[in-house]
């Protein structure tokens, strides 16, 4: 479990874009999902892709 | 509980990659410090991992409300998947060195060589083997618990991991050398996309309930993320080609 916690902390500090993608994705999906689950899902996928791309650009 | 092949398959792939990495360390310890020490360390680590699954697996499935554990475990799985996916894209685009089991094996052997134990268990070899199996195994436990619990098919996930473990163990015993022929980097690419897709599906269910097309949404995630991988790799590879 220590390894898991260390990995999570590492992700937050060393790769905030990935962490942010999950948090922002979940938040927007929650808000949009109250109106339409399809829109919520779409925004979640977009947030994941945007966060990953931002993280990749930073690492490359 | 219904057996789920997609769940077992996803866990098999993900755990197989981790077991290949663990096998490299165990073999390096075995060759330098004796297989008795190496196998003892690996066996204790496996027992500790099994205890983790028994302790937390049952609690996750029975105690937590479904929406909450889908939210938490989906986010966790998404983070793990994104981490793998990112590394795989960087490797495929030539922005990160490929993982080479032969090189890892050579490094471990060089580190452990020099002082061979006379008899009994060697403490450093035992700890190296334990650590190698436990560290890689914890990721397997997270994957088994998250996918298995969220899909309400823990047995399928455990079976997938068990098959992965036995297959790698069998090949390792037969070859007695690191599994360099396993296309590990390509597998990690697939696993990264699969874990991210499962994570998205499960997190979505935790946040807004069912997807409009049900579990078939994972196929949409897989297709979109695979297409995105191609685009990301091409875009990241472009500047380096331009400079060369």
Q: Using CB atoms, which residue from B93, B207, B239 is nearest to A29?
A: B207
Distance (Å) from the alpha carbon of B95 to chain A's nearest alpha carbon: 6
Picking from A20, A24, A56, A57 by the largest number of B CB atoms within 10 A of its own CB, the best residue to mutate is: A56
pLDDT given at position B152: 74
Q: Which two tokens stand for residue B216?
A: 């078939």
pTM, to two decimals: 0.74
Number of A–B residue contacts, CB under 8 Å: 102
% chain B with pLDDT above 70? 88
Is pLDDT at B4 greater than 90 in this prediction? no
Cβ neighbours of residue A1 closer than 8 Å, sequence gap 6 or more: B52, B138
Task: Give the pLDDT band of residue B244 (cuts 50, 70, 90).
Answer: very low
Q: Using CB atoms, which residue from A8, A40, A59 is nearest to B204?
A: A40
Q: B160-217 pLDDT, tens per residue?
A: 998 988 888 888 778 777 666 667 778 888 888 988 998 999 899 889 988 999 888 9
Q: What is the mean pLDDT of residues B114-123?
A: 65
Q: B9-18 pLDDT, tens per residue?
A: 888 888 888 8
The DSSP code sequence of B40-91 is: HHHHHHHHHHHHHHHHHHHHHHHTS-HHHHHHHHHHHHHHHHHHHHHHHHHH
Region of B75 on the Ramachandran plot (φ > 0 left; ψ -120 to 50 alpha; else beta): alpha
Q: What is the mean pLDDT of residues B63-84?
A: 82
């Amino acid at each position: 479990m220590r390894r898991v916690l260390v990995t999570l902390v590492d992700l937050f500090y060393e790769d905030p874009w990935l962490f942010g993608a999950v948090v922002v994705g979940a938040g927007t999906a929650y808000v949009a999902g109250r109106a339409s689950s399809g829109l919520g899902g779409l925004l979640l996928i977009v947030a994941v892709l945007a966060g990953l791309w931002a993280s990749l650009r930073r690492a490359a | 509980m219904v057996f789920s092949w997609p769940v077992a398959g996803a866990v098999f792939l993900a755990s197989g990659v981790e077991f290949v990495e663990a096998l490299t360390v165990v073999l390096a310890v075995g060759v330098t410090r004796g297989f008795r020490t190496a196998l003892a360390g690996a066996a204790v680590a496996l027992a500790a991992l099994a205890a983790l699954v028994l302790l937390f697996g049952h609690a996750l499935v029975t105690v937590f409300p479904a929406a909450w554990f889908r939210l938490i475990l989906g986010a966790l799985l998404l983070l793990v998947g994104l981490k793998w996916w990112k590394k795989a894209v960087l490797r495929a685009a030539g922005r990160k060195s490929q993982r080479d089991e032969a090189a890892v094996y050579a490094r471990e052997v060089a580190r452990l060589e020099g002082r061979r134990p006379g008899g009994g268990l060697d403490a450093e070899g035992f700890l190296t083997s334990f650590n190698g199996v436990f560290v890689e195994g914890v990721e397997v436990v997270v994957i088994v618990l998250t996918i298995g619990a969220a899909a309400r098919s823990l047995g399928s996930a455990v079976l997938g991991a068990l098959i992965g473990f036995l297959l790698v163990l069998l090949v390792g015993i037969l070859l007695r050398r690191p599994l360099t022929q396993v296309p590990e980097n390509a597998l990690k690419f697939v696993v990264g996309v699969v874990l991210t897709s499962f994570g998205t599906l499960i997190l979505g269910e935790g946040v807004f309930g069912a997807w409009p097309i049900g579990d078939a949404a994972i196929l949409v995630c897989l297709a979109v993320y695979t297409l995105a991988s191609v685009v990301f790799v091409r875009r990241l590879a472009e500047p380096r080609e331009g400079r060369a």
